[in-house]
Amino acid sequence: MDHPKDTECKNFILSIKLMAKHLDSMAENFDLDSVREMLNNIFAAESIFVMGAGRSGLVGRAFAMRLMHLGFNVYVVGETTTPAVKKDDVVIGISGSGETRSIVDLGRIAAEIGSTLISVTSNKESTLGEMADTAVVIPGRIKDNGGGYLERHMRGDYRNLTPLGTSFEISSMVFLDAVIAELIAIMGVSEADLKLRHTTLE
């Protein structure tokens, strides 16, 4: 593959601007009732379990890390040290489509146990969104099926420059970091308090 030494990086700049515009629109149109429900559930939980597949799973891990810094009992579903979910726990499932099979199946188990299920998804009418006690809707383009993203670009359509679920993943990361910021404000903790729980084995 030839290295594009003289590229003007037009798509690079445009992608950043489109994402910034998307995040600004998301902030202006968010359903704050669902956010309040999520915050209340987090505070009421005995333990918090975070789950997501692929890149959404990486977003979930980052969120779980911040919850740990705040002193919550938090686990990432799928880790070998993660204990069993109980009725007084909260399970947070992250899936742009709300149809990721592994996450939907785990959501059903959480519902059967009687724990509180929170979905972070772009599709409130999805299987995960419908079964959740609280559904937080993150506006974002979910994954294309059949190469729709590539097909549009071959035709010269550059309205959506972020591939696959990128819009959702970036938006959900910003959303979950904003949840952490709100928790910090409510709890009255400082950055120094968070650093006390930060890992020393890096």
Q: Which stretch of DSSP H or E encloses residue 23?
A: helix 10-28
pLDDT confidence of residue 58:
95
What stretches of the chain adopt beta strand conformation (E)? 48-52, 74-76, 90-94, 116-121, 134-137
φ/ψ bin of 54: left (φ > 0), alpha (ψ from -120 to 50), beta (otherwise): left
Across 38-52, 85-99, 120-134, 138-152, least confident range? 138-152
What pLDDT score was predicted for residue 46?
97
DSSP symbol at 140: -
b/e 28-48 (16+ beta carbons within 10 angstroms → b)? eebeeebbebbeebbeebebb
Catalytic sites, residue numbers: 169
Q: Is the pTM of this model over 0.75?
A: yes
Mean pLDDT across 23-46: 94
* Fold category of 29-189 in CATH: Rossmann fold (3.40.50)
pLDDT over 90 percentage in the chain: 61
- Dig out the tokens for 91 from the structure: 């399970």
pLDDT value at position 3?
63
Q: What is the DSSP letter of 39?
A: H
**How buried is residue 116: exposed, middle or buried, by Cβ count under 10 Å (0-12/13-18/19+)?**
buried
Q: Does the structure show a pLDDT above 80 at 173?
A: yes
Average confidence score pLDDT of the chain: 84
Contact status, residue 21 vs residue 121, Cβ threshold 8 Å: no
